Structure 1
Amino acid sequence: MEILYLSEKKRIALTLDKTLEEIKTRHNYELVDLDSKILRVAQSFHFPELHDRLILATAKYLGIPVVSSDRKFSAVEGITVIWD
């Protein structure tokens, strides 16, 4: 979702199609469908950008860290952010 958004805004050179094709060839990525469980978790986050809420909700639901430079993510309880 984030890649699609940034690509359409011309903020990155990647396209969604190219990214999905690349992910299919890698074994260290997993695509996760947004389902009603993740959407319910998203209700608990108060971020103006929907894609940020979905990223946070997915990470919280799966119990995995978020890789992001967005400093607001670090302030969210229950979310671990990885970034240098």
Structure 2
Amino acid sequence: MGNEVELLEHWRELTPQKQQKVLEFVELLKSESETTPPESDFVPQTPLAKKLWSIRQRAIASGLQLLNEDEIELELAARRGGFRES
């Protein structure tokens, strides 16, 4: 039996309140996956890359949220007094 079919069968047995809890849990899992960086096969080769990678890993482990490309661009624009390259 496929996971989707099994999940649907269990879903139908739940009360509406428990179905709501399941939906909330799924949303939580989804948001975690969007903020959690994917596992990487990246292996730094140079001493500088190893040091920077170590700093990055420690920052992530401490809970620091890394910026995406758009967020970096907005931060740069703010630091440059509103100038933004298009």
TM-score by length of 2: 0.25
Identify, as 1 or 2, the structure richer in helix. Answer: 2
TM-score by length of 1: 0.26
Ranked by relative contact order (alpha carbons within 8 Å, sequence separation 6 or more), the top structure is: 1
Identify, as 1 or 2, the structure richer in strand. Answer: 1
